[in-house]
Every structure is written in C-alpha cells, then in structure tokens.
Structure 1
C-alpha cells in the first residue's frame, strides 16, 4: 500500500515504471517525473486501463475513491473511460448553461408576448438583484438556499413586492430550463409564501367637494395639454389607465369608443358611450395628436403609448401622492353613480367588471346599452354641472 510519504520519495527513471497500491490501482512514474494514477481492468474479455489523474492534483485518497467508483461501473458493465468522457461533456454543457445564459434565452423567446412594463420589470430585477448573486452559476447547481438569500436581501430593504416578483421571474426561468431538460425541478416551489405579501391599499373614492378641489388644482397645473385632456377623459369615462394609453383614433365609432379585446383586462370587447363633453375633449386632442395612430402617443416615440406612470405623476404633483390615482376615477364614479340611483349591474357592466358565470356574462354583454348611454351622459352632465370639468 502506498503512502503520501512513499509517493513523494519515488524518483523518475530512464523509462516509465509502475508502483502498485492495491486492488488494480497503481501509480505510473514517467521519465519526466510526472506521476499518474491508473487502474487496470478487464471488460468484455478485453484488458484496458483507466487514467484517473495526475498526482498531487489527485491525492492518494481521491485516487482510491475514483478507483472504487470505476470498479462499481465495471461491475455493471460500464466502461469507466466512456463514463469519464460523458461526465466531462455533461460538465462542459452544465458550465455553459449558467442562470444568466438560460434567463436571456427565456427572455428573448418570450419578450414579444410580454407587456412593456412586465419586460422592463423582468430586466431591472434580474440585473439588480438576481444576476449578481447567481448569474454565473450553472443553473442545475442552484438550490433553494441560494434563492432564499436573494429574496430575503430584497425584502430587508423594504421591497417585499419586488421579492415576490423576483421569485416569480426566477421560477419562469427554471420552468423554461426544465422543459429543455437542463434541470430536474424548480427550487422556487420551496419558497412559496416565504415573503409576506403586503396588504393592498386601495385608494378611496373622492367625495364631491374633493372632486371639485382636484380639478380646480388641475386647472392651474402647467403641464402638457394632452396629459390634462387624458385625465379629463378618464374622469368622464372611468376607463382603466392601460385602456386610455392604448386608445387609437380608429377605435372611435360615432359617439362611442369600441375597445378591442386585446387591451381589455377581461379580454372582451367593451363599448364606452361618449357624451358631447367627451367628444369636445377628443376634438381638442386632435389638434395635438390627430396625425398619430395612438390618441396618446409617447412624447419620445410616437409608435408607443404614453408611459403608464404619466397620469399618476401629475396626480402626485397636485398633492395626492398615496391618496388618489388615475384608477381612483373608477371607484369615484361607481360610488357616486350608486348614490345617483343607478343599478349596480349597469355600473359594473360599464366598468367592464365581467360576470363569472357564463350564462349571465353572455347576457350582460348584449344588454343595458340604452341605460348605459343615459348613465354616461348623466355622469358627464354631473361633472360639468358642478364645475369640475368645463
């Protein structure tokens, strides 16, 4: 049996020679002085040898472990030389499949199906929080503890919502990798619920005096005329911010806007009756943006809609940060229209809050239009009548 002391004492000779360790393992000392661990074996009647590695990079202890591993492979008919090459190929493939590389593959494949905002969130969170921690790691070696550390780090800076999004994005990358046999499981499943989701704080509706005060402040605001028109149209029609941003001139049909299913939250076409006051606002808007496809194009790139934060930034500058948002026009209209005596199902239909039960949902899609037109006219008259919008 060899020892480290004995191995170190072995000197090169004119020709290579072998020193046995035991159980087919031997050390071959070359004329150059290099020492290689090798193992003799017979498989399918053929004698061969398996090179384990060079001493001292491969220690005596590890040489014996590799000898035992190879012996187990030979016992079931596997050739250790072939298995070693396969391991090297797997390792090479694994090293090229870093989390960053797989994530970029996923993003490029899915980017066209993602909204601009979602794509931006993915890129920012990955670049800031995820890639620095695990970007260079082979994705197959990443386990739940690595990911937990990332999520807890994000949460510790007071951003639990970002941590939840990070877990979602990481999970999407792992599921993409799993479908391509790069990993066997998604480790994020062990982290479900580890970050406590913050309670959603819904902005309360404005009461009549507050609504008057809001638009008094807006009348004094020195911003882009198109943004002010956008806010006024939202107040009249109480459509969602996304629906407003993606409005096209082609959606206007007479005295209504026909919103296509692809921009609607419930993926169903929606009709928004227009009062004369709204039509007047739209005609004013044509002076600024009539030559574009979008009614509210981005100031830097007219082929894209205005930013999803534009409306809320103006509202914040008016002094309503955290207390009101563009979405708040919907709850304000809903509350006041209920007080004005309109039935809840008509209001809900105009808000495009779809029924979940199939039969009633189909029924509501076709009904209430005369009542909805009258309600929208009364709402506009109310806003104009109280001096909110001129």
Structure 2
C-alpha cells in the first residue's frame, strides 16, 4: 500500500515504471518524474486502462475513490473511459448553457413585437435580481431552492409584484430550455403560490372639491415644468401613464394624437382629439422638449422615456399618497362625464376600453369621432371652470 511519503520519495528512472497501491490502482512514474494514477480493469472479457490524473493534483485519497468509482461502473457494464468523455461533453455543454446564456438567446427571439415597457421590466428584473444569483450556473443544475431565495429576497424589500414577475420570467426561460432538452423540468412550478399577489387597490375618482384642491396644490408646485405639464395633459386627455410616457412628437397630427398599436394596452390604435387647452400645453412643452423624439424624455437620458414612477411621485408630494394616482384621472373623467350626460359607449371609446366579453369585439379607433372631439373640449372647459 502506498503512502504520501512513499510517493514523494519515488524518483524518475531511465524507463517509466509502475508502483502498485492495490485493487488494480497504481502510479505510472515517467522519465520526466511526473506521476499518473491509473486503474486496470476488465470489461466484457477485454483488458482496459483508465487514467485518473496526475499526482499530487489528484491525491492518494482521491485516486482511491476514483478507483472505487471505476469498479462500480465496471459492475454496471459501463466503460469508464467512455463515461469520462461523456462527462466532459456534458460539462462543456453546461458551460455554454448557463441560465444567463439561455435567457439571452430566448429573449432575443421573444422580444420582437413586445412593448418597450415589457422589455425594460425584463432587463431590470433579470439584471438586478436573477442573474446575480443564478446567471452563471448551468441551467440544468438550478433547482427550486435557488429560485425561492430570489423570490423571497425581492418580497422582503416590499416588492411582491416584482417577485411574481421574476417567477414568470424565469419560468419562461426554463420552459424554453426544456423544449431544447437542456432541462428535464421547470422548477418554478414548485413555487406557485409562494408569493401572495397583493390586492389591487383602485384609487377612487376625485370629487369636484378634491379636484379643485389638487390643482391648487399643483399650481404651487415648483418641480420640473415638463412633469407639471404631463400631469395637466393627463387630466385633460385621461390617457394612461404608459401612453403618456410613450408619446412622440411624430404621434401628433394636427389637433389629434394617434397612438400606434405597439404602445397601447390592447395593441389597438387609439386616437385622442386634443382640446384647445391640451394643444396649449403641448405648445408650452415644445419650449422644453421640442428637440427630442419623445415628448416626455428622461431628464438624464433623453433617448428613454420618463420614469414610470415620476407622475405618481409628484402626486404623493402634493399629499395624495395612497389616495390618488395618475391613473385616477381616468376614473375621475369617466365618473364626471357620465354625470355631465355623455353616453357610456362614447366615454369607453375615449378611454380605449375594449368591448366586454359577450359583446361585439370589433374596435373602431375613429368611431364617434365628432362627438368625442366635442366631449374632450367640454371636459377641458369643465376643468377650466374649476380653476385648473
């Protein structure tokens, strides 16, 4: 039996020689002085030789464990040399099949036709929360506990909605990998229900006195002028925050803004007639942002739109935290226009709401346009009467 002291004492000779340890394990000592562990075996009546590795990179203890592993493979009828090559191929494949690599290939194919907002969400969540934990791991070796750690970390910082999106995004990558035989299962299925979906709290519409109070406070606000214009324009047009952020000067056609399909919630073109007040706001906006493609660009990077939270942060500073949001202008306008006697279907068209289930699904973006134009002007005039 060999010991480390005996191995270290072995000197090179004029010819290579062998020093046996036991159970067909031996050291092959070369003329150069290098020592390699080898195991002799017999499989299906034929002699074979398996090289474990070089001493001392492979210790005596490790060599004996490998010898036992070879003996187990032989008992199962597996050639250890073939298995070693297969393992090397698996490792090489795993090196090129990290979660990050698979995710990038998947999303490059998927993102065509997706909204800028969706792409931004994907990139942000992956870069901040997912890739730092599992990005460099072979996707085939990622199990549910790793993913649970990601989700719980996000939830602990108070972002359960982001955690739900992270699970959804990771699941898409695993299903893509499964379709290409890179994984045998999607581990995100075990995490269904781990994160509780927060209850959606729809902000109630403002009543007339509250609306007056809101715009009185906004008039005293000393923040970035384009943001104030954005809030006033949302109040006059009751478009979604996402639509406002996506607005480009090229969307303007005379006294109308036409939102293309790719920026709309239901992927349907939407037309917004502009009142004289809305046109005046846009003309004022030109003084600040007229040279950019986006009407409301990010202050730091004009190639990107303003942050999705900008509008609501200003509203919170005005004292409406949790009670009102930019989206609340839509319910406010809907409620008050109904009270002013406008038909529900007319208001719904201008809100770009699709038909409800069971009703006619066709959507004509220009339907009722003369009436909608008159309604939008009446709405802005109403806001002026409140002192807006």
Query: TM-score range, shorter-chain basis?
Result: 0.7 to 0.9
Uncovered stretches (5+) of structure 1, i.e. residues with no partner: 1-5
Structure 2 counterpart SS, 1:85 = helix
CA distance in 2, matches of 1:300, 1:264: 25
| TM-aligned CA distance change 1:135 to 1:303, over 3 Å | closer
Alignment match, 1:3: none
2:71 is the counterpart of 1:67: yes
Structure 1 counterpart SS, 2:194 = coil
CA distance in 1, matches of 2:359, 2:202: 30
Map 1:174-189 → 2, pairs under 5 A: 174-189=174-189
CA deviation string 1:22-77 (max 9, x = no partner): xxxx122445695735132255x754333456662435455233212134235xxx
The one of 15, 25, 28 aligned to 2:26: 28
CA distance in 2, matches of 1:109, 1:363: 30
Structure 2 counterpart SS, 1:257 = strand
Q: Is the Cα contact below 8 Å between 2:52 and 2:66 reproduced in 1?
A: no
| TM-aligned CA distance change 1:243 to 1:8, over 3 Å | same
* Structure 1 length-normalised TM: 0.83
| TM-aligned CA distance change 1:269 to 1:96, over 3 Å | closer
Q: Is the Cα contact below 8 Å between 2:239 and 2:351 reproduced in 1?
A: yes
* Structure 2 length-normalised TM: 0.83
CA deviation string 1:265-314 (max 9, x = no partner): 11111121222222232333334434443333333444433332222222
2:260 is the counterpart of 1:260: yes
Moved over 6 A (4+): 9-14
CA deviation string 1:85-142 (max 9, x = no partner): 1212212332453334444555566667655554454444444443443344322111
2:173 is the counterpart of 1:169: no
Alignment match, 1:318: 318
Uncovered stretches (5+) of structure 2, i.e. residues with no partner: none
Q: Is the Cα contact below 8 Å between 2:36 and 2:51 reproduced in 1?
A: no
CA distance in 1, matches of 2:381, 2:211: 14
CA distance in 2, matches of 1:285, 1:55: 74
Q: Is the Cα contact below 8 Å between 2:20 and 2:27 reproduced in 1?
A: yes
| TM-aligned CA distance change 1:282 to 1:135, over 3 Å | closer
Residues 154-163 or 321-330, more deviating: 154-163
| TM-aligned CA distance change 1:385 to 1:172, over 3 Å | same
Q: 1:350 Cα deviation (Å)?
A: 0.9
| TM-aligned CA distance change 1:356 to 1:104, over 3 Å | same
Q: Is the Cα contact below 8 Å between 2:297 and 2:303 reproduced in 1?
A: yes
CA deviation string 1:344-385 (max 9, x = no partner): 222111100111559723265563333322322221221112
CA deviation string 1:135-179 (max 9, x = no partner): 443221111122223322332343322322221232233234334
| TM-aligned CA distance change 1:300 to 1:358, over 3 Å | farther
| TM-aligned CA distance change 1:27 to 1:250, over 3 Å | closer
2:40 is the counterpart of 1:39: yes
Structure 2 counterpart SS, 1:214 = helix
Structure 2 counterpart SS, 1:361 = coil
Q: How many pairs are equivalent?
A: 374
CA distance in 2, matches of 1:289, 1:259: 19
CA deviation string 1:185-238 (max 9, x = no partner): 221111111111111111111100000111111112223333222221211110
Q: 1:181 Cα deviation (Å)?
A: 3.3
Structure 2 counterpart SS, 1:326 = coil
RMSD: 3.2
Residues 164-173 or 234-243, more deviating: 164-173
CA distance in 1, matches of 2:249, 2:320: 31
CA distance in 2, matches of 1:228, 1:142: 47
CA distance in 2, matches of 1:245, 1:105: 29
Map 1:271-286 → 2, pairs under 5 A: 271-286=271-286
Q: Is the Cα contact below 8 Å between 2:99 and 2:136 reproduced in 1?
A: yes
CA distance in 2, matches of 1:270, 1:81: 66
Q: Is the Cα contact below 8 Å between 1:350 and 1:372 reproduced in 2?
A: yes
CA distance in 1, matches of 2:70, 2:364: 72
2:178 is the counterpart of 1:156: no
Alignment match, 1:221: 221
CA distance in 1, matches of 2:34, 2:256: 90
2:18 is the counterpart of 1:16: yes
Alignment match, 1:379: 379
CA distance in 1, matches of 2:76, 2:190: 34
